[in-house]
Structure 1
Amino acid sequence: MKYFALFSLPVDFNIDLELLNQAYLQLQKAVHPDKYAHKSSAEQLLAVQKSAQINDALHILKHPLKRAEYMLSERGIDIRAEQQTLQDPMFLMQQMELREELEDIKEANDPDAAISAFDKQIKKIDLDYHTQLKTLIAQTDIEQLHRTADVVRKLKFIYKLREELERVEDSLFDD
């Protein structure tokens, strides 16, 4: 199933979320299981399956990282379930340093300020990689698509750091 076609959207990383949501509501309305309550069990099952596919498509297209992975897979580079490690020593060193910094937040004299500074740093890195991603994802050259895949892999690290920062913040301020 081609997700962009399903929602009648152009294949583009910069997606109009409002149009996506409108198309989603129209599709869900058309296949809502309640409409098939008096139909055969096969038709009911088909409606439920179609509804689930629409939900999956929406979930993927709404999330920038999942959208990029999907777009890459449509171009023959499927990194969604890979376990490949990055071959960028500078990036990996940066990640180790950021993780150490994250651990230090728990012991900081002013954890709120430390969280804020770390969050600002992560947002900058995230923005830099998203800017690269927006440029590279439109490419069709296989070498550029592999570079795009590396940017997506890096963004996965950044997303995990953000999640870990939220956990640290919750542990420090949830009393």
Structure 2
Amino acid sequence: MNYFELFSFSPSFDVDTALLAHRYRDLQKAVHPDKFAHSTEQNKRLAVQRTAQINDGFQTLKNPVSRAEHLLALKGIELSHESTTVKDTPFLMQQMQWRESLEDIRDSAAPDDLIDELNQCFIDYSQSIISRLAILLESDQPQDWHQAADHIRKLKFMVKLQDELSRAEDALFDDE
């Protein structure tokens, strides 16, 4: 299913999330299963299915990573169940440095400063990936789509790192 069509958007990485939320609410009102309470069983089932599609579409399009994956899937490149890893050596080296920094938080003399520094670093790096990804996804060249896939893999890693950082920060508060 093309979620961009469902929400009346042109397929694009850049989505107006406020408009997306507005269209989501409108679609949910139109097909909510309660509106079909006195209808046939088939119509009730269709309403539930349609509601699930709308929910899935909304979750997909509001999240930059899943939106990018959906765009690539529409172009014939499926990433959702793959196990391909990033082969970018500088990025892999940077990953190792970030992981070491995450491990250093607990023993740091100034863990809050290290958390803030890492958080900003993760945000900046993710934003640079997103900026490049937006350009690659707008291209009509298959080689650009494959580069976009690598950027999505990097972005997924950054999301995991951000989660790990949040857990490390929570662990500090738990220890206090």
TM-score, normalised to structure 1, is: 0.97
Identity %: 45
Matched, 1:2 2:24: no
**Counterpart code for 1:70:** H
| Paired position in structure 2 for 1:93 | 93
Q: Mark the runs of 5 or more structure 1 residues left unpaired by the alignment.
A: none
1:12 CA displacement: 1.3
1:87 CA displacement: 1.4
Distance of 2:123 and 2:32 partners within structure 1: 39
1:41 CA displacement: 1.4
| Paired position in structure 2 for 1:117 | 117
Matched, 1:80 2:65: no
Per-residue CA deviations over 1:29-68 (Å, capped at 9, x if unaligned) read: 1110100111111211110010001000000000000000
| Paired position in structure 2 for 1:139 | 139
**Counterpart code for 1:9:** F
Matched, 1:33 2:65: no
| Paired position in structure 2 for 1:170 | 170
**Counterpart code for 1:138:** E
1:134 CA displacement: 1.3
**Counterpart code for 2:43:** E
| Paired position in structure 1 for 2:16 | 16
**Counterpart code for 1:79:** L
1:9 CA displacement: 1.2
Residues matched between the structures, number? 175
Distance of 1:78 and 1:162 partners within structure 2: 24
Q: Mark the runs of 5 or more structure 2 residues left unpaired by the alignment.
A: none
Distance of 1:13 and 1:88 partners within structure 2: 23
Distance of 2:106 and 2:81 partners within structure 1: 32
1:6 CA displacement: 0.7
Distance of 1:82 and 1:10 partners within structure 2: 26
Task: Classify the secondary structure of the residue corresponding to 1:137.
Answer: helix
Matched, 1:102 2:102: yes
Distance of 1:140 and 1:151 partners within structure 2: 17
Distance of 2:47 and 2:62 partners within structure 1: 22
Distance of 2:35 and 2:2 partners within structure 1: 24
Coordinate RMSD, CA, aligned? 0.9
**Counterpart code for 1:127:** Q
Distance of 1:155 and 1:18 partners within structure 2: 23
Q: Give the 4+ runs in structure 1 shifted more than 3 A.
A: none
